[in-house]
Chains A and B, each alone.
Chain A
Amino acid sequence: MTYQADEKGYYGEFGGAFIPEMLYPNVEELRKQYLDIMKEDSFQKEFKALLKDYVGRPTPLYYAERFSKKYNTKVYLKREDLCHTGAHKVNNTIGQILMAKRLGKNRIIAETGAGQHGVATATVCALMGIECIVYMGEIDIERQAPNVARMKMLGAKVVPAKSGSKTLKDATNEAIRDWINNPVDTHYIIGSVVGPHPYPDMVARFQAVISEEIKTQLKEKENRENPDYVVACVGGGSNAAGAFFHYLDTPEVGIIAVEAAGKGIYTGESAATSALGKEGIIHGSKTLLMQTDDGQITEPYSISAGLDYPGVGPMHAHLFRSGRGEFISITDDAAMKAGLQLAKLEGIIPAIESSHALAIFEDRKFKEDDVVVVNLSGRGDKDLNTYIDYFEL
């Protein structure tokens, strides 16, 4: 048994491609070619060179000594926060822009919530000199002004999504509509392991560099490739997919996915999809999603914009349903405290998304000699205003 996608893009019962016929030619073109293109020597060479020289990989695997002492276990932080643009998101956009070029596309569209994926997409489009259009919910545009400015500096056009709830899921709808209206010249760079097959698998493979590096680095530091646990936060789940990827079929490595409980799982203001979601279809994928009894998709809530998605990638839905993954949800308050604590203990200000993963150590106890790798998916610069407001700094 494997926890990877099968050839139709299913992880167990989740995944697939539930798309309108208008999207079929685009998605089918990508599905037929993505694996072959990724296998090409020239592709791998270019991808790896850019990850090294442009993104700054490999990112360090850092032994967090004071943090470890506090929780009486061995904690390593995978420093994705040190990537160019401040988060793991760029691993995927580098891969997809190279894919788009090989597919002969000359126009890029993307969706973004907080703006991190939008910035990472605008960045690689600037790098390659390709036109870039980013859809962003009207409400998010107001909330995330610095990232909107970054995208504009990078030459991207930011288009407000004015439909529905005017947030990430609506930005995704608008990007999909753009793709329907532009079926020939455009590639859609999805930012997470969501959407129709082959996106979840393709994005996971681009992010898999994270766990590939963890293996090598852990071997150097601990003389073992496999930690006892890998921990990552999950919104759509791309950083988690990358951190888990090479451990999925290694049962002795525990997989811990951390979701946003918002103000509390059952408060009605939460994004804990595994606890609150039911099986359904969102953005072309069968997965767990938050919805009404009538099948209308509901608006999630988290203090962290990057975890504020009503669904979860089909890989994670399967990890949850099969019991392979341990799912923990963390409230806004616990995450904020964990973020501040990491700053004080290790001199690292994490993104609030990543703070969720750091917060589990309060209640989830590990053995003294356990080796636990936490994927520190992004840095906290973008969240400074939220930290300032929350702690009245």
Chain B
Amino acid sequence: MNRIKEKLQEDKKLLSIYFTSGYPEINDTVEIIKSLEKNGVDFIEIGLPFSDPLADGPTIQESSTIALKSGMTTNKLFEQLKDIRPEVSIPLIIMGYFNPILQFGVEKFCAKCEEVGVDGLIIPDLPVDVYNDNYKPIFDKHGLKNIFLITPQTSEERIRFIDEVSDGFIYMVSTASVTGSTKGFGEETKAYFKRIADMKLKNPQVVGFGISDEDTFNDATKYAKGAIIGSAFIKHLNKHGKNNIKDFVKSVRPV
């Protein structure tokens, strides 16, 4: 069974962390993954850096710019990940924009993901319609779960369609924003979390954007299966380096 599906069946709220591969230093990728697993993170989003990350805020863009300057590439990421299994056993998801994947070759990219043991992909600028019409068989062939986003503005009809096409979880963007831009969730956002929960979708939901600490994690996972932290973790890396990951994870989910 796909590691993502397996993880989603565990009886707990899931904590996922995003980080940009090749950041802070180009060869930190594997060490950060191992440290996150060791400290109890449930699954990981590995960012494939891109020059023009439209859906991301300044924190993640800056980390991508630095990673690219250090020489990070798609090939390099697959090289870094080649021995990650079986040493790391939690699900690994690559989050990247579509253009670098298109240049690498979608089929080749998916094959490489399968080869190194990546379980899923999040490609924010590959819309569900285009995926469904053109790429789904390739992803399926390589056992990759493609994760789609929904937002507070996504219509019910479209959410149902995304639920239909998805087989893993649905990435619920907490508020209409780019990454790293909100502080705490208001009543409107909490009502949206509930509204989605009440839709009884076949795929569990994991909330992302605007989660930075224990409070926001708890709010986000009141109805949802889990939550993803990105910018706040990058900021932590900026401030404390990669040796203090334990403290960060604890600050979000004390054991």
Contacts of B97 in A (CB 8 A): 281
CA distance A282 to B52 in the complex (A): 8
- Give min CB distance, A185 to chain B, whole Å: 11
Binary A-proximity of B89-112 (CB < 8 A = 1, otherwise 0) = 000000001111111100000000
User: Interface-forming stretch among B37-45, B171-179, B225-233, B237-245?
Assistant: B171-179
Contacts of B61 in A (CB 8 A): 163-164
Closest residue on chain A to residue B68 by CB atoms = A296
Q: Of B53, B130, B153, which is within 8 A of A18 by CB?
A: B130
Is B58 at the interface (CB under 8 A from chain A)?
yes
- Residue of B51, B65, B127 with most partner-chain A CB within 10 A: B51
Instruction: Tally the A-B contacts, defined by beta carbons under 8 Å.
Output: 112
Is A136 at the interface (CB under 8 A from chain B)?
no
Docked complex: B129-186 residues within 8 A CB-CB of A: 130, 148-151, 153-155, 158, 173, 176-178, 181
Docked complex: B50-82 residues within 8 A CB-CB of A: 50-55, 57-58, 61-62, 65, 68, 73-75
Q: Of A21, A22, A169, A294, which is within 8 A of B74 by CB?
A: A294
Is A344 at the interface (CB under 8 A from chain B)?
no
Q: Is B176 a contact of A281 with CB atoms below 8 Å?
A: no
- Give min CB distance, B69 to chain A, whole Å: 11
Contacts of A20 in B (CB 8 A): 54-55, 124-125, 149
User: Interface-forming stretch among A37-45, A94-102, A147-155, A172-180?
Assistant: A172-180
Q: Of B57, B99, B104, B150, which is within 8 A of A281 by CB?
A: B99
- Give min CB distance, A159 to chain B, whole Å: 13
Q: Is B149 a contact of A21 with CB atoms below 8 Å?
A: yes
Is B126 at the interface (CB under 8 A from chain A)?
yes
Closest residue on chain A to residue B148 by CB atoms = A21
Is A129 at the interface (CB under 8 A from chain B)?
no
CA distance A17 to B150 in the complex (A): 17
CA distance A181 to B56 in the complex (A): 11
Question: Number of A residues contacting the other chain (C-beta, 8 Å)?
Answer: 35
Is A291 at the interface (CB under 8 A from chain B)?
yes
Is A268 at the interface (CB under 8 A from chain B)?
no
Known: A17-B127, A20-B125. A295 touches B55 (CB 8 A): no
Docked complex: A141-190 residues within 8 A CB-CB of B: 163-164, 169-170, 173, 176-177, 180-184
CA distance A59 to B251 in the complex (A): 65
CA distance A326 to B178 in the complex (A): 40
Known: A21-B148, A169-B52. A291 touches B58 (CB 8 A): no
- Give min CB distance, B194 to chain A, whole Å: 20
Is A284 at the interface (CB under 8 A from chain B)?
yes
CA distance A285 to B174 in the complex (A): 26
Is A360 at the interface (CB under 8 A from chain B)?
no
Contacts of B101 in A (CB 8 A): 295
Q: Of A21, A280, A291, A297, which is within 8 A of B124 by CB?
A: A21
Known: A21-B124, A180-B176, A281-B98. A295 touches B52 (CB 8 A): no
Is A222 at the interface (CB under 8 A from chain B)?
no
Is A54 at the interface (CB under 8 A from chain B)?
no
Docked complex: A78-112 residues within 8 A CB-CB of B: none
- Give min CB distance, A381 to chain B, whole Å: 32
Is A25 at the interface (CB under 8 A from chain B)?
yes
Q: Is B58 a contact of A294 with CB atoms below 8 Å?
A: no
Is A19 at the interface (CB under 8 A from chain B)?
yes
Known: A25-B154, A294-B73. 4 other contacts (CB 8 A): A20-B54, A22-B149, A294-B103, A297-B51
Closest 3 CB pairs of A and B: A295-B103, A295-B100, A21-B149
Q: Which residues of B contact A (CB under 8 A)?
A: 50-55, 57-58, 61-62, 65, 68, 73-75, 97-104, 124-128, 130, 148-151, 153-155, 158, 173, 176-178, 181
